[in-house]
């Protein structure tokens, strides 16, 4: 019994989550790809051909013959899509860079903090992450509006005479992304800085490096794993972000997550939105693999 | 000590001000007398009273809580299993794919996850509603649980498990009586994380839910699109309050468990 139970337990621990993820995470991607090759139809579900298990292998082959790449041709013909992909990548890259600029000094300060207050600081960084994403984005609308709190402050201080237009521009999106994803950047950088041996920077300084030079030559390179992990954690989801461009961005803001959403919900064009998703996935596959590789390596070191 | 310099303190203070100021302002303006969320006109709790009469919002809150409780619980079981599989069995067929499927959902844009799950439910002819929503939430939150539990398991001393097995405990008994009590704080924080992620989700929910299963974020989102009102600030304040209390309880529990563990270890070594 014991041996049988042991083998069974070991197997189930792997098989159950494995099967779950295969069915609910991996297989759906193949369905997305398949539907991106279908035609739009006025029906429910709104695409043709409908895959039918009952039709057997013959029906399946018929299905494949009906596949078309029209949706992809459509995506290349309309400049809107290429622009949306391009500007998503650009906005995500700029926001990632800005997030890094703000997060690094915070993470560095935390790592230098006395041991007694570090857990509290860590807790304070994580806490906003637990409050709703939607709420945090929403909070910025009241701040960035032309008659909002930020403009009121600047006007009162006499720094400007006209309210700045920030809401519904790309700047609002940058602020939204930096704000929402800041903890994702701070935490990995902090954890790689915290592990660092401080005698290394001291040695560099003893050997004549200025503190700034010691930072760039020693500290920063050693914190690279954290920087890379943080950048991936911000960049990849930011490319497909929907809530932030929708609530903070303007009508001229093109981001692919919003395009996909509109294509699906407003135009009800499922095959085109599936094609949009497939290409987005192809664009992100390289950074995602890179992220996984870094994570797997980090796990290996922790072992 | 000079390491904790003024520059360090300034960057932390500014960083935290940036993180907290918007939330604080949102909470303050939920108590505003005026309908505007940008001009202060005196203290009032009327928006909270008004919430109690907003039946659609209350229904949505109830759906959200039920989905959250069910999905967080199932996700914790599945995520803990996945974490065990990842740390205990370093080689099995398809392990690369498995770890890929654990990490990818953490960064996958929600529009892709949402769309793909919706298309799955349509393909298998599963009517969209409460249960499709719950299944989708289980799937994306279990990966977060797996990562949290896995990081605890990596620092786990396996010799006590081996000792239990040598003394004749079955793997199931070993897991329940030895492993689980040790990793319980991580499992618990995994559950809390899964629950709050589920409460929070808008995009995946919008894709996978159907008529009659509108969640609170979906309701808030449709109201936000119409304009910013103190009533939404009030809902948000309540949600922030719930999360703050939850996190506080979780941190107190895990801290007392940690102190207990250190005491137990010291007692064990004293003999």
A47 three-state secondary structure: strand
Residues in chain A, total: 303
Cβ count within 10 A of residue A4: 8
Does a structural domain hold residue A2?
Answer: no
Asked whether B86 and B78 are in contact (CB, 8 A), the reply is no
Instruction: Please give the Cα distance from B194 to B185 (Å, whole number).
Output: 14
Q: What is the mean pLDDT of residues A87-103?
A: 95
A25 domain-assigned: no
Question: Terminal CA-to-CA distance of chain A, rounded, Å?
Answer: 32
Q: Which residues of B179-218 are buried (b: 16+ CB within 10 A; e: fewer)?
A: beebbebbbbbbbbbbbbbbbbbbbbbbbbbbeebbbbbb
pLDDT confidence of residue B210: 86
User: Would you say residue A43 has pLDDT above 80?
Assistant: no
CB atoms B19 and A26 under 8 Å: no
Distances (CA, A) of A128 to A178, A180, A189, A292, B169: 13, 9, 17, 25, 43
Task: Tally Cβ neighbours within 10 Å of residue B68.
Answer: 23
In whole angstroms, give the CA distance from residue B67 to residue B130.
Answer: 7
Rounded CA gap, B102 and B87, in Å?
13
> Percent of chain A scored above 90 by pLDDT?
30
Contact B4 A113 (CB under 8 A): yes
Q: Collect all residues of chain B within an 8 Å Cβ-Cβ radius of residue A186.
A: 15
Answer whether residue A62 is part of any domain.
Answer: no
Average per-residue pLDDT in chain A? 84
Mutate to test the interface with A, among B38, B102, B189 (most CBs of A within 10 A): B38
Give yes or no for residue A1 having a pLDDT over 60: no
CB contacts, 8 Å: A261 with chain B: 111, 203
Do B38 and A145 count as a contact with CB atoms less than 8 A apart? yes
SS3 B92: coil
CB pairs under 8 A between A and B: 263
For the domain spanning B53-270, the CATH number is 1.10.3720.10
Distance, in Å, from the CA atom of A267 to the CA atom of A177, rounded to the nearest integer, reads 27
Q: Answer yes or no: do A128 and B92 touch at CB < 8 A.
A: no
Contact at 8 Å (CB) between A122 and B19? no
pLDDT tens profile A26-41: 999 999 988 888 877 6
Q: What is the mean pLDDT of residues A242-249?
A: 91
Best of B9, B22, B30, B211 to disrupt the A interface (most A CBs within 10 Å) is B22
Cis peptide before A49 (omega within 30 of 0): yes
Q: Which domain covers residue A154, as residue numbers?
A: 74-302
pLDDT at residue A302 above 60?
Answer: no
Is 0.90 exceeded by the ipTM?
no
Q: Across-strand partners of A47?
A: A40
Per-residue pLDDT of A134-179, as tens digits, reads 888 988 988 888 888 888 888 888 888 888 888 888 899 999 999 9
Rounded average pLDDT over A184-206 = 86
- The tokens 């505003």 sit on which residue? B32
Q: Note whether B230 and B29 are within 8 A (CB).
A: yes
Q: Is B146 on the interface with A (CB under 8 A)?
A: yes
Q: Is the per-residue pLDDT at A265 higher than 60?
A: yes
Task: Please give the tally of structural domains in chain A.
Answer: 1
Per-residue pLDDT 10s for chain B (271 aa) are: 456 788 888 989 999 999 999 988 888 888 888 877 777 878 888 888 888 888 888 899 999 999 999 999 999 999 999 999 988 877 778 888 898 899 888 888 999 999 999 999 988 888 889 999 999 999 999 999 999 899 888 888 888 888 888 888 888 888 888 889 888 888 988 998 899 889 889 999 999 998 888 999 999 898 888 877 788 888 888 888 887 887 777 777 777 777 777 787 777 777 6
Q: Which residue has the higher pLDDT, B229 or A84?
A: A84
Residue A123 lies in a domain: yes
**Partners of residue A181 in chain B, C-beta under 8 Å:** none
Cβ atoms of A278 and A32 within 8 Å: the answer is yes
CATH of the domain at A252: 1.10.3720.10
| CA-closest candidate to residue A245, choices A298, A173, A153, A181 | A173
Helix (H) or strand (E) holding A40: strand A39-40
Q: What is the DSSP letter of B173?
A: H
């Amino acid at each position: 019994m014991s041996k049988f139970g042991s083998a069974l337990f070991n197997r189930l621990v792997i098989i159950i989550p494995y099967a779950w993820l295969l069915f609910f995470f991996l297989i759906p991607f193949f369905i997305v790809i398949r539907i991106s090759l279908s035609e739009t139809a006025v029906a429910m579900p709104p695409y043709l051909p409908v895959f039918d298990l009952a039709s057997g292998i013959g029906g399946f082959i018929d299905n494949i013959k009906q596949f078309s790449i029209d949706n992809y041709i459509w995506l290349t013909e309309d400049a809107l899509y290429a622009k949306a992909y391009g500007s998503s990548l650009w906005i995500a890259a700029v926001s990632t860079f800005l997030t890094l600029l703000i997060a690094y000094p915070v993470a560095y300060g935390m790592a230098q903090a006395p041991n007694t207050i570090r857990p509290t600081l860590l807790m304070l960084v994580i806490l906003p992450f637990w409050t709703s994403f939607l709420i945090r984005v929403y909070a910025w609308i009241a701040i960035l509006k032309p008659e909002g709190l930020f403009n009121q402050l600047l006007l009162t201080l006499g720094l400007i005479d006209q309210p700045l237009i920030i809401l519904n521009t790309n700047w609002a999106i940058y602020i939204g992304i930096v704000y929402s994803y800041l903890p994702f950047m701070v935490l990995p950088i902090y954890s790689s800085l915290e592990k660092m041996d401080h005698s290394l920077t001291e040695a560099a300084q003893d050997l004549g490096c200025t503190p700034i030079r010691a930072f760039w030559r020693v500290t920063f390179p050693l914190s690279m794993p954290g920087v890379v992990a943080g950048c991936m954690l911000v960049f990849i989801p930011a490319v497909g972000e929907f809530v932030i461009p929708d609530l903070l961005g303007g009508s001229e803001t093109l981001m692919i997550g919003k395009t996909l959403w509109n294509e699906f919900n407003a135009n009800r064009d499922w095959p085109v939105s599936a094609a949009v998703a497939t290409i987005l996935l192809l664009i992100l596959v390289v950074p995602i693999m890179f992220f996984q590789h870094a994570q797997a390596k980090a796990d290996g070191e922790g072992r | 000590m000079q390491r904790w310099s003024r520059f360090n303190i300034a960057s932390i203070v500014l960083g935290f001000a940036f993180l907290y100021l918007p939330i604080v302002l949102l909470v303050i303006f939920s108590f505003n007398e005026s309908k505007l969320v940008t001009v202060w006109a005196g203290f009032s709790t009327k928006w909270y009273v008004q919430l109690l009469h907003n039946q659609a919002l209350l229904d949505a809150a109830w759906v959200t809580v039920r989905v959250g409780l069910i999905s967080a619980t199932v996700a914790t079981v599945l995520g803990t299993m996945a974490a065990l599989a990842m740390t205990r069995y370093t080689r099995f067929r398809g392990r690369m794919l498995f770890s890929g499927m654990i990490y990818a959902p953490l960064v996958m844009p929600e529009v892709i996850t949402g769309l793909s799950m919706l298309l799955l439910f349509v393909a298998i002819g599963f009517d969209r509603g409460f249960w499709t929503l719950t299944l989708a939430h289980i799937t994306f939150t279990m990966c977060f649980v797996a990562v949290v539990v896995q990081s605890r398991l990596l620092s786990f001393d396996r010799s006590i498990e081996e000792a239990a097995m040598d003394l004749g405990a079955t793997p199931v008994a070993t897991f329940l009586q030895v492993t689980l009590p040790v990793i319980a704080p991580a499992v618990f924080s995994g559950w809390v994380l899964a629950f709050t992620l589920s409460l929070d989700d808008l995009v995946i929910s919008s894709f996978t839910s159907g008529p009659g299963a509108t969640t609170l974020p979906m309701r808030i989102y449709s109201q936000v699109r119409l304009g910013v009102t103190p009533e939404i600030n009030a809902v948000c304040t309540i949600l922030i309050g719930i999360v703050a209390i939850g996190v506080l309880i979780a941190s107190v529990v895990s801290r007392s468990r940690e102190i207990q563990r250190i005491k137990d270890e010291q007692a064990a070594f004293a003999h």
